[in-house]
Amino acid sequence: MNMLRHSNGINRLKYKKSTNIPRVIKITVYVIILILLSLAVFQFVLGKVYNEKFKSRFKYTRIDEKKVFYNDLGSGELTMVFDSDLGLDLNEWNSIEKSFKEKYNIKTFQYNRLGYGYNDGGNRVDLKKQADDLRLTLKKANITGPYILVGSGYGSLVMTNFANTYPDIVKGVVLINPINEKYIKDKEYIKNFAGSKFKYKAEYISAYFGVSYFREKLGLLKEPEDVFSADDEELASEYMSNRIRSKYSQAIYNEIINLENGESSSQIEGMLGENPLAIVSREENMDKDKNLLTLSKSRYITQISTNSKGQYIPISDKEKTLEAINYVLEKAKVNAKK
């Protein structure tokens, strides 16, 4: 209390409590921001280092100002175009490519979708746009048709969208462990993909700060199952140098959203006309995939069963994959002679 001059009363002085954030909290926030900025710079520099260390073995063109890498081999009247499964780049076709060199006189074309491999990343595009981008990539790479399309998993949807949009230049289709649009809006069917959505969203955000790099160094981020043999150590390292970047996880996340939204409507009965069709289905999906046989009106249609439990059928069951490809290739040649 304080007695005021010229007053008969007593004045109680009031002290304002400080509303400022305690100094220790401020320092903590600044330290966290500094660490995050340092990690972001580290990830940026790491990307530059890996770009110098691992030079892409493939050619590239640009679609919407973004780099798209591809590999074309061989020669022939037909071109076989390969599209990979969700989460894997064109390395899915390594063993198939080697077999082609030995057995087939045909041109082959492999490429990476947005965000995979050395490709630039970007915002989500739907399956129709992915098919249109593939068509533009083929044009810019001067890879002329007609084409036989081979799609694995998610890549099968890109291929049916391509065939539906550009039927005149497609002469045959191979679908391996296909995603069936009939069930794509079924919650039980799609939860196999949707369950990973938040995982990959968290991964692509955290990758900006080097988290994927440290996870890989701690053995917590593994390369895909059976993709690389013991002799492919350099290829495995090259793959992982791209896998730890945010664009890669973002690509997976974006494609999971495409599946979850059920945005594809390309699997139309008779869309392939008289062109041959082969489907490689897991044993448990044989009945579910039978409706896909109606995509073609040809008498050259086959469904092949695989008992492989591997994640990627072109790798885990190369023989059945080659059986399907050989079937379509031979029947396409028969059609060409008519």
DSSP conformation class of 129: H
Q: What is the pLDDT of residues 50-60, one digit of tens each?
A: 777 777 788 99
| 194-234 residue pLDDT tens | 667 888 888 989 988 889 989 988 888 888 877 887 778 88
Average pLDDT (47-68) is 85
Please tell me the predicted confidence (pLDDT) of residue 14: 53
**Across residues 15-41, what is the average pLDDT?**
76
pLDDT (average), residues 114-120: 93
Q: What is the mean pLDDT of residues 179-197?
A: 78
Query: What is the spatial distance between Cα 213 and Cα 8, in angstroms, rounded to a whole number?
Result: 75
| 95-102 CB contacts, 8 Å cutoff, 24+ apart | 95/314, 95/315, 95/318, 96/314, 96/318, 96/321, 96/322, 96/325, 97/71, 97/73, 99/318, 99/322, 100/73, 100/74, 101/73, 101/74
Among all chains, which residue has been given the structure tokens 């590999």? 71
Nearest CA to 161 out of 200, 105, 231, 113 is that of 113
CA-closest candidate to residue 140, choices 161, 111, 174, 172: 111
Q: Mean pLDDT, to the nearest integer, of 168-191?
A: 88
Q: Could you report the per-residue pLDDT of 74-107, keeping only the tens digit for each? A: 888 889 999 999 999 998 998 888 777 667 778 8
Model confidence at 40, pLDDT cuts 50, 70, 90, reads confident
Average pLDDT over residues 269-288: 95
Which residues fall within 8 angstroms of residue 242, CB to CB, at 6 or more apart?
Answer: 50, 89, 116, 117, 118, 248
Residue 116: per-residue pLDDT? 94
- Rounded mean pLDDT, 314-318: 92
Query: Which of 51-55, 250-254, 312-316 has the least mean pLDDT?
Result: 51-55
Give residue 290's identity as a one-letter amino acid code: K
Q: Cα–Cα distance between 176 and 109 in angstroms, integer?
A: 17
Closest CA to 83 of 144, 161, 167: 161
pTM for the model? 0.88
Closest CA to 118 of 92, 93, 90: 90
β-bridge mates for residue 280, sequence order: 176, 304
Give the integer Cα–Cα distance in Å for 9 and 242.
78
DSSP annotation string for 148-184: EEEEETHHHHHHHHHHHH-GGGEEEEEEESPPPTTST
DSSP-assigned letter for residue 225: T
pLDDT tops 60 at residue 12: no
Q: How many CB atoms lie within 10 A of CB 266?
A: 19
Rounded CA gap, 246 and 3, in Å? 68
- Between the alpha carbon of residue 283 and those of residues 59, 187, 286, 287, the distances in Å are 38, 21, 5, 9
Tell me the residue type at 181: E
**What single string gives the DSSP state of each residue in 252-281?**
HHHHHHHHHHT------TTTTTT--EEEEE
Q: What values do phi and psi take at 63, rounded to 5?
A: -125, 120
At position 325, the amino acid (one-letter code) is: I
Q: Residue 10 — very low, low, confident or very high, per pLDDT cuts 50/70/90? A: very low
CA 193-198-201 angle, 5° bins = 110
Contact 196, 259 (CB under 8 A): no
